[in-house]
A and B are shown apart, each in its own frame.
Chain A
Amino acid sequence: MISFDGEGIMSREFENPFKRMMAIRGIGQVLTVTAGLIVLYVVFGIMNPVFFSSRNISNLLRQIAPILLIGIGQSYVLITGNIDLSIGSVVGMSCMISATMMTKGVNPWVAVVVTLIICLAFGLANGLLVSFAKLPPFIATLGTMTIARGIAQIANNNYNTDSIGEAAQGFRDFFYYGKSFGLYNTIWIAAVLWFIFNFILMRTRSGRHIYAIGSNVEAARLSGVNVISATNKAYMVSAFVSGVVGLITSATTGMGTMDAGNSYELYAVAASVIGGISTLGGQGLLFGTVIGASIWGVLQNGLQFAGAPVAIRNIVIGVIVVVSVLLDVIVRSGKGLRKKRVVSSL
């Protein structure tokens, strides 16, 4: 509930805690999708009681963690009013670079640090293309998406790597197999990073500037906000969490795979949008991304239990994305769709 805190955002005049909560921007959709998440979860649980087992819950959370991480990155970028299509490829790039280094005998932790630095640099490049070179974000990151995938492919001469081996066991435990306080480390990594990035977004000047440029970039610029720096920060967060997910992937599979993270950028958009992050910028709560990623995970996991083939799962998730955005549009325009459409055709 941390994200709902912060007396600053709300008035001291909202004494009623419910009113207080409803006053937060974008809370409506977060609450709606939270209710949706609970319903989904219960329905799947009733269909198959194994779904409720602690073992499955643990697995489910571990499935959700990487989606939440890339969701955080995409949410940051969406809130600035841009989009990052390179997320999936950066996951692949991170996976291949780290695994290649480890198979070549580099200390795994050195490999982790080097990989994350490369990812941050890649994020900076994304940010500069959009903020400094003023390329449309869709095109800029479409280009870097292909470049990152290319880097993933040349990392090990167009082959997946061999096993990262015994030396990397500590690395694999840290990112995937190990448990702390009864939960898989992957879950802890996602939770800790979420807390940090939510805190930055809600409580620091950098976070405020990220919202401001998404809301009205010209107003922000004229108020002395450094638009280039704020945009860069968002893209660097996005590339950083993608890098972490790449590391989780190589720890999971124990090797580097060139097509790791394929189409993750779209899952990241889905998690953000289901959670109420506006694709137009300036609006959304990172708590929503948690719910969005969870819905994605519960659907995947639940449909799998129900025996639905992959194709059906894809269709269901696609429908959920469209419907949640549609609901958002209807709620925001107040009077429904008709008015909006007519105005734009005037």
Chain B
Amino acid sequence: MAIDRRRFVAGALVALTAPRAVLAAEARAAGQADAAIVYAAAARREGSSYAVLLVSGDGRILREIPLTARAHDIAIDRARRRAVACARRPGYFALCFDLDGRAEPEVFAPPQDRHFYGHGAFSPDGRVIYMTEHDVDTGEGVIGVYDTGNGFRRIGEFPSYGIGPHEAILLPDGRTLVAANGGFGSDPATGRESIDVAGMKPNMSFIDVETGALKAQHGLPPEINLLSIRHLAADASGAVWFGGQWQGAIEDAPRLIGRARLDRPIALVEPGGPAGDALRGYIGSVAVCAEGRLLAASAPRAGRVVYADTETGRIVHEVALKDACGLAGSGPRAFAISSGHGVVRTEQVAEGDGALETRFPSTEFDNHLRRV
């Protein structure tokens, strides 16, 4: 029962691979467009077992990779058709697997004095992955750089320029990494307990990955510094949107969604639509549709997903789904939503009908959903 890190990481996976041909055949068999889309997500399965799943939009599990601990996000390497499941905070492993089952999965871990925060971002060519990390000794946020072609050897790091970096995304220029510094850390000794919430100063940091230099940093007004900036998505115009998690009393929660640019400070979503307290102070993930204009933000504690028009900055639509959290763009103006109750719902936002809802038995989808 002892927690031995080396053994734990080594035992973190059992690979069940499926050849690409099988995946394609299963997807075609469903006979509709949504069914052909494959999503990746971390999940809790029967009992308390954890896994990474590849699922189809019509409710079939195409592949399952069991894990001994809970994962958070799945970073996708589109260039080489691989993915990395990141252990959730405080995380000690990441698992890379080939989306088509052509290679054995690989596990990598942070150094002894670091832990992962649950997110990573591949470079456009897939040669490196940037992982959000916590420096246990100093409490500072770090971006660890891993060489994906060389056993995921850690080849460098640079600051995240804040405390508690959570999601980090690479902008289309392939060179600017935006890190959501949530504002508080966690310590390996005390698991998921937050450290010094009262001292939070969350920010979005735009970082040059070639030099590690800070290009721009945007914080929040002091009166809403308890809004932990956690999850990010870039829209078609290049603005970076965030979903926040309020660490104070629900009745004091501000608006939870906002955006910034390299050269423009944070602006919260326009007033109107459900307020921060109605969303229970908590956004679980954000995603932008393929066309790039609509942003979806999930509020699992309120059982809702809200949609914002990224041009006007206004909430334009919302949908109720219990424990909805994972989000992925599934079409020009369409999203897939996953829930902790094993549901995947795909819908066209503008039309408001034609939603397809499928239920996966014995499955609780974790925070994030990614289109593969």
Q: Do A and B bind each other?
A: no
State the B residues within 8 Å of A (CB).
Answer: none
